[in-house]
Structure 1
Amino acid sequence: MALAPRLDLRQSQSLVMTPQLQQAIKLLTLSNLELEGVIAVELEKNPLLEAMGGEPDWQPLQADGVDRDDAAPVLAAETGAADQLMAQGRGEADAPLDIDPRDTAFAEDGPGDGPGQITGGGAGLGDGGAGQPGEAIDFDSFANPEPELQEYLMDQARAALSGADLMIASQLIGQIDAAGYLEADLLQTAYGLGVALADVERVLAVIQTFDPTGVAARSLSECLILQAKEADRYDPCMARLLDNLDLLARGALPQLRRICGVDEEDMADMIRELRGYDPKPGLRFSSERTAAVVPDIFVNPAKDGWSIEINNATLPRVLVNRSYYVELSGGPQDKASKAWLADCLASANWLVKALDQRQRTIIKVTSEIVRQQEEFFRKGVAHLKPLTLRAVAETIGMHESTVSRVTSNKYLSCPRGLYELKYFFTSGIQSADGGTAVSAEAVKSHIKALIGAEAPGAILSDDTLVDMLRAQGFDIARRTVAKYREAMGIGSSVQRRRQKALKGKAA
């Protein structure tokens, strides 16, 4: 066969993801709060996009019943009327820009509507709130910031030390972790600073007298010793107890009593004293603020089923400024300007449509989840059913990956609490009588309830738990019970027996 260049004509099929499709897929994965960042970027680079500062110009996107598909509104951007008006040079006549958002035709029937209602994002105060009208107030922003641990310790060091001692203290404080423990090696620190080890130890002793009590300790035992000395409870018996914390952790109380030379009453008093100490004194100065989870979807009982609504309080709202488009297109333009303006219009229209499609898809997926898990919403976690992404996808006619993206990073608020959408997808445990399988989360709730009700003198082993669960209709193996128990952070029967014994001594 001769090697020579030639031309071949081939026909093939391939899937090409356009930038618009990639953007729509990306929007599905984002939560309402994450969506704000994407919208901010688009608003900055596209002059035809306009952020809505008040109530939306359409009815809240919701489904009054889980079986209804016609509850979602139709945006003006999806109708042909707006494009026809712009083609005729009369884009300013587009009706959506002239709708009064306070018109009584737009019902405020959900937790995300109305300027004066409390929503999942905070208290909306209408035009009087901070930031954009209708936004929720972040009350955490008014709180005084907590001082950093190292900064707080340095303030005390400057008041107590000076000169070379202050330099040593600065080096040691810089190596204290967030929990308040010193991670430095004193010998290496002395060598690096060119000072005597005795000077470093002397400065460390001063730092260990600072607030919070127990800071700059090099071990848990030393941290508790510092707190016991501060409380004037560091006697020889307490010293022996703190030197044998490993025995206390194992629950070897008879051996500890012999080592400490105390009776049961004194040992119980010492244990009670230890339980009042703080093993991580530095954490109270942690600068990390816990971010509140804001629900993306509200689910509430209704007359004909369940009302499912997008949280409009956190949902970014944008419209195409058609009046501005008419103004720009009516002026003198060259070919490049016309192309740029057309591209901005197409991008703006696509973004508005993609946002609306995102809301419709979220409502559709959530409606199916609520329909299949209705027993959970009515009766609790014990009635949670096994559910997979594929089962939901096949029912609503979507791809499994689309359902996965919709349920990522999104939270649902219902009368039973706040749940991530992924929470409703769990594996199943076969029923002992061959009936319907039950969710793994339901089995976990039963295990937790059984262990929570056990008496201190009758701790349930994993084998006993298996027998009790099978009596309730759950066909489950012992290793599965152990796996679920460990996943919930519950110790073994031996560990629980020791914990209850220690708690009883300290009570």
Structure 2
Amino acid sequence: MGLGPRLDLRQSQSLVMTPQLQQAIKLLALSNLEIEAFIAEEVEKNPLLEGGVTENDRGPEMSADDVREAAPDFADSGGGDGDAPDEPVTADRLMETGDAGTDAPLDVDYDAEVFQHDSASDSQRGLDGGLGLDGGPSGGGFSEDGPDFSAMAGEVSLQDHLLAQAGSCLSGSDLAIAGIIIDLIDEAGYFTGSPLELAQRLGAPLVQIEHVLGVIQTFEPTGVGARTLAECIALQAREADRYDPAMAKLIANLDLLARGALPQLRRMCGVDEEDMADMIRELRSYDPKPGQRFGSARIQPVTPDLFVKQMRGGWAIELNSATLPRVLLNRSYYVELANGPQDKASKAWLADCLASANWLVKALDQRARTILKVATELVQQQEAFFTQGVEHLRPLTLKTVADAIGMHESTVSRVTSNKYLSCDRGLFELKYFFTSAIQAADGGDAVSAEAVKSHIAKLIAAEGDDILSDDKLVDLLKGRGFDIARRTVAKYREALGLGSSVQRRRQRALSQHAA
């Protein structure tokens, strides 16, 4: 065979993710608050976009009866005439066709339009009859007494509280060392550093480090700056003037108390049963984590992305318009720029901005409709949960929902990521409604793992003095129609934060002894 250069033609197929497709996929997985930050970045980059206005007119809520009729239809006319296509464009189809240059603009002048207030959040009274989730008036306004600025102020952190006390009783190098020690105190109030390592790092005498740490341990809250749980309890016992030799011996042997070795502790402490019960009651009054009375990092509450409310004719499902910003395309500004003097590069840049803006508006609208469609199917599948509680939660998979609404399983997975649903039963992540199946003992319909966990929690809560072992729980659950193994019961019990039968029996004995 001769060796030499030659030219061959080959055909191959490959899936190329366009920037528009990547953007659409990214938008599906973002929550409403993350969408707000994303839109802010896009508005800053694209001069044709306008955003930041709360979307109070997303549209009417969707009921479970008309979900099939709510499939999104978008104008995708290649010539830009705005005519609707013959067949609806699904979410998967929108991702497959990422040609933003041919998308018809979906901008609308909301100031010139008159919208019908047919959604629950469009009116003065919200889904909950005029009250927000926190019981206050909906709409974000203040009460008639005006804003409560004290509630708006952030809580004082533990470090700030300790630094203020250190500044009033320490000075010079002691104050500087105190600042470093306070930085090493965690949220629970414990000192996480080592005095010896700190002395070596600062080049200060160990005696001085120990002295400053001892001063900090006298600060409020009592017990702060301790290195161990025993030291924290001992500091509080000294403050309460209860640190006698017997109490000191009990605090030094907290591991024996945790194991319920009361006879051994009574011998070590030299007290009778009545005195031991009194000492245990005293220990229970102390705070093992004194630093948690103060806020260190302000915890942001979870904001729901969807509201579900049972109405007279079915279920009302709508997006949280308070956290969903709206994006508009400024057509007048585009016309002004297009009619001005431009070179070839400027025209190409302006065309890219227009195509990007059109696609973003369309992708956001598609995202909203897709989320509503998935949420509506979830409500249909788990209607028994919304009406009767967690014990009636059905096993559900992503594929079941995807097949029901005609979308890909990965699309449903992205839609349900980082999204929260608010209903009368509380706030739930959309992933919560997808649970594994537990077979019924009588061969009936399978139940969800969350329903089984609920039954286990109720059985343990009502066990009384007769502590239920895992084997006994298996028998009781089988009596309720759940075919479940003992190791599965143990796994679910541990996931609920419930101890074993030995631990619960020991804890009950300690409670009865200290009562």
Q: TM-score w.r.t. structure 2 length?
A: 0.86
- Residue 192 of structure 1 deviates from its aligned partner by 4.3
Task: Please give the root-mean-square deviation of Cα atoms over the aligned residues, in Å.
Answer: 3.0
Q: How does 1:78-477 map to 2 (within 5 A)?
A: 96-97=108-109, 103=114, 105-111=115-121, 114=124, 118-119=131-132, 125=139, 143-455=152-464, 457-477=465-485
Percent identity reads: 65
* Aligned mates of 1:357, 1:84 — CA distance in 2: 16
Aligned match of 1:70: 69
Match of 1:418, SS?
Answer: strand
Structure 1's 187 and 23: CA in aligned 2 closer, same or farther, altered over 3 A? closer
- Provide the residue aligned with 2:486 in structure 1: 478
For residues 292 and 139 of structure 1, do their structure 2 counterparts lie closer, same or farther at Cα, with a shift above 3 Å needed? farther
* Residue 493 (1) aligns with residue 501 (2): yes
Change (3 A) 1:67 1:263: farther
Unpaired runs of 5+ residues, structure 1, are 86-93, 130-136
Deviation at 1:274, TM superposition (A): 1.2
Return the offset for 1:114.
4.5
Deviation (angstroms), 1:327:
2.3
Whole-angstrom CA distance in 2 between matches of 1:99 and 1:194: 68
Aligned in 2, Cα 1:146/1:505: closer, same or farther, shift over 3 Å? same
SS in 2 for 1:9: coil
Alpha-carbon displacement from aligned partner over 1:218-240 (angstroms, at most 9, x marks no partner): 21111111100101111122111
Q: What letter is aligned with 1:183?
A: T
Residue-by-residue CA offset, 1:460-506 (whole Å, 9 max, x unaligned): 00000000000110000000000000111110000011111222233
Change in Cα spacing, 1:123 to 1:81, as seen in structure 2 (3 Å) is farther
Secondary structure, counterpart of 1:294 in structure 2: coil
Secondary structure at the aligned position of 1:62 is classed as coil
Question: 1:497 aligns to what SS in structure 2?
Answer: helix
Cα displacement string for residues 209-263 of structure 1 (whole angstroms, at most 9, x for unaligned residues): 1222112212111111110010111112211110110011111122222222223
- C-alpha contact (below 8 Å) 1:120/1:294 kept by paired residues: no
Query: What's the CA shift string for 1:383-434, capped at 9, x where partnerless?
Result: 1111111111112111111110000000111111111000000000100011
Secondary structure of residue in 2 paired with 1:444: helix
Q: For residues 145 and 309 of structure 1, what CA distance do their matches in structure 2 show?
A: 32
Q: Is this contact kept in 2: 1:411–1:419, CA < 8 A?
A: yes
Q: 1:33: Cα distance to partner?
A: 0.7
How far apart are the structure 1 equivalents of 2:193 and 2:24?
51
Task: Give the stretch that moved more between structures: 317-326 or 180-189.
Answer: 180-189
* One-letter amino acid matched to 1:212: P
Alpha carbons of structure 1 residues 168 and 343: separation in structure 2 relative to 1, 3 Å: closer
Preserved CA contact (<8 Å) 1:108 1:114: no
The aligned amino acid for 2:209 is V
Of residues 286-295 and 200-209 in structure 1, the stretch that sits farther from structure 2 once superposed is 200-209
| 1:88 matched residue in structure 2 | none
Query: Secondary structure of 1:309's match?
Result: strand
* CA displacement at 1:436 relative to structure 2: 0.6
Structure 2 unaligned regions, length at least 5: 84-105
**8 Å Cα contact 1:120/1:295 also seen in 2:** no
Q: Which residue of 2 aligns with 1:44?
A: 44
The 8 Å contact of residues 306 and 420 in structure 2, kept in 1 or not, is answered as: yes
Q: Does 1:11 align with 2:11?
A: yes
Q: What TM-score, normalized by structure 1, do the two folds share?
A: 0.88
- Kindly state the Cα deviation for residue 115 of structure 1 after the two structures are TM-superposed: 8.8
Q: Does 1:60 align with 2:59?
A: yes
* Count of residues in Structure 1 that have an aligned counterpart in Structure 2: 487
CA distance change for structure 1 residues 8 and 72 in 2, over 3 Å: closer, same or farther? closer
Quick one: distance in 2 between partners of 1:315 and 1:402? 20
Instruction: Pick which of 239-248 and 296-305 moved more.
Output: 296-305
The answer to whether the 8 A contact 2:154-2:298 is kept is: no
SS at match of 2:370: helix
Deviations 1:315-346 (Å, cap 9, x if unpaired)? 11111112222222233333222222222111
Shift of 1:359: 1.0
1:356 Cα deviation from its structure 2 partner: 0.9
2:510 aligned with 1:502? yes
| Contact 1:66 1:370 (C-alpha < 8 Å) held by counterparts | no
Deviation string 1:107-154 (CA, Å, 9 cap, x unpaired) is: 24314655985545986547x78xxxxxxx997995333344334333
**Aligned partners of 1:162, 1:259: CA distance in 2, in Å?**
43
Residues 395, 435 of structure 2: 8 Å contact kept: yes
